[in-house]
Chain A
Amino acid sequence: MDTLISTLLSGVVLGALYALMASGLSLVWTTLGVFNFAHGALMTIGAFVAWTVSEAVGLGLPAGVVAGVASAALLGVVVEYLLIRPFYGRPNMLLITVMTTLAGMIILEKGAQMIWGARLKQLPRLIDGEVSIFGAVISAHEALIIVVAPLILLALWQFTTRTYLGRSLRAVGQNQDAAALLGINVSFTFALAFGLGAALAGLTGVLLGGIRFITPSLGAEPLVKAMIVVIFGGLGSLGATVGAAFVIGLAEAFLVLTLGLYWTPFALFLGLIAVLIFRPNGLFGRV
C-alpha cells in the first residue's frame, strides 16, 4: 500500500513538472506554430541563473527564483527576436524554425557550459522538511511542486481565457490576419508567447534544480519528456497537454516500479508509437 501511494505521489510530481514544461511548449506552438527546441535549454539557464543569484552571489533563494524565471523569460524574447522573427512568412517556416531553435539550443547549452562549467551544482530546496501523505513520505519541496504547478497552470488558463492580452494570444494563434485587423499587435503577441513559455521553462528549471543536479544538459531529458507529452496529447490545447503530462508522469512512475529504471524510457516510447499508429493527432488530439 505504501509503495502504491509513494509511486502515485512521485508520478504526480513528475506529471506536475512535465505539465509546466509542456504547457510552455504548447503555448508557443498554439500562438506561433513554432516548436521551440530551445525550451529545455531555457530551463537550464533559468536554473543556473537562480543558482548564481542565490548561492554564488548569496542574495538568497527567493531572489534566485525571481532572477531565474525572469532571465529565462527575457532570453525567450531574445530567441523569438533572433531565431523566429526573421523567418515569418517563409513557406517552410515550421521546419526552418525547428532548425533555428535547435541551433539556439546548442548555443544556449554550450554557452551555459562555457559560463558555468561542467561541475555539478544544486539549488537548495524551496522548503525544508518532509510531508507525510497517507503514510507515504515525500520532501516538502516535492509537495510544493504538486501544489504550485496546478496553481500556475490555472492562472495561465485564466489569463488566456479572461484577459485581453491572453485572449489575443489565442486569437493570433487561430487567425493572424483577423487578429491584426482587430488592432492586435501580432509581433508583440509572438514575443509575449515566447516570453511566457520561457518563463514557465525557467520556473520548471528552478523547481527541478532543487531535486537534480544542475548541469548544462539539465534541460535535455525534460525536453524529450515534454515532447512525448505533446505528441501524446496533441499540440492543440492547454487542457490536453496538461492531461497528457499527468498521464505520462504516472505511467512513468508505475513503469519504473514494475519494469525498472532501465526499460521505462523504451516502454514509454513503444506506448507512444502505438498511440500514434492509431491516433496520428495524439491521444487527446482532435482528428
Chain B
Amino acid sequence: MSRFLEVEGMTAGYGAVTVLRNISLYVDHGENVGLFGPNGHGKTTLLRTLSGLMRAAMGKVRFDGQDISRARPWEIVGLGMVQAQQGNTLFGEMEIAETLELAAFNRRAREKAAANLDRIYTLFPRLAERKRQKAKTLSGGERQMLSIGAALMCAPRLLLLDEPTLGLSPRLKEELAEALRAISQDVPLVVVEQDVELLLALSNRLYLIEHGEVQREIGKDNAPDHQEIMDMYFGEHA
C-alpha cells in the first residue's frame, strides 16, 4: 500500500529566490508528523506548496496515491488535504457561524457539516459563544480557533497546521493545545509548531527543516532528548 502523503524532491520558491531545495518526506497512514526548525527556513512555504497555493518548480507530491503536484488548491481540499494557516484572520467581515458554514464547501464536507459544526463548538466553546460576531472583532487566539475550526469543517482526511499556538497567551495556548490533542486522535496531522512539548505530544515522527532542506528525520527509535531538540530549534546543532 502506498504512503498517505509523499513528497519527492520538491524544489520551490518565489521567483528567483529558492526557498525549498529537494525536499523529500512522507506521512504514513495512521501517523502524525511534526515539522520543526528555525523560523524563515521554509516550513510555511512547504505547507503553501503542498496546499497548491504555490507551484513547485520541481518534484512530485502524491496524496493518497494521486499525483497532486499540479493540482489547484480547491481540488486538493476536495481530496481531503486541508490547511489551517497561521495567524489567519480569514474573512474579517464575516460572522463566525457564517464562516464555519461556508467552510463546508466541498460535497464530502457538506454531508458532514452539521456533525462537524457541533464538534467544533464543543472543542472551542469560545467560538460557540461568539457565533454572531464578525471575525475581525476576535482576539488572536480566537482567530486561530476559527481558522482551525474552518479547516475541520472541510472534513479533512489530513490536516496541515501551521504554528497553531504562535503568539498566544499561556492560558489560551493551553486551551488550544487541549483541543489539538483531541483533534490529533481522529484526524491525521502534519503540524508545524514551536512549542516542543506540544509538538512531541501531537506527532509520532518529526522532520527538521533547515535552510530549505530536510536535515534530519526523527522517529521513535532515534529520538533525541528534549534538550537536543531545543538546540535544533535554534539552529545550534550544525
Contact = CB atoms under 8 A, between A and B. Distances in A.
Interface of A: 161, 164, 167-168, 170-171, 174-175, 177-186
Nearest to B136: A174
Given A180-B53, A180-B74, A183-B105, A170 B154 contact: no
A177 B83 CA distance: 11
B131 to A, nearest CB: 15
Given A171-B94, A178-B90, A182-B103, 13 more contacts: A168-B102, A174-B92, A174-B93, A177-B85, A178-B85, A178-B91, A180-B51, A180-B73, A181-B82, A181-B151, A182-B105, A184-B74, A185-B72
A181 B94 contact: no
**Max chain A C-beta neighbours (<10 A), residue from B82, B102, B110, B150:** B102
B102 A171 contact: yes
B78 interface: yes
Interface string B96-112: 00110111011001100
A180 B53 CA distance: 8
A1 to B, nearest CB: 43
**Max chain B C-beta neighbours (<10 A), residue from A175, A183, A186:** A183
Interface residues of B, number: 32
Nearest to B92: A174
Given A168-B102, A177-B85, A178-B85, A183 B91 contact: no
B88 A178 contact: yes
Contacts of A161: 98
Contacts of B72: 180, 185
A177 B91 contact: no
A183 B78 contact: yes
Interface in B51-102: 51-53, 72-74, 77-78, 82-85, 88-94, 98-99, 101-102
A181 B53 contact: yes
A185 B187 CA distance: 24
B53 A170 contact: no
Contacts of B106: 183
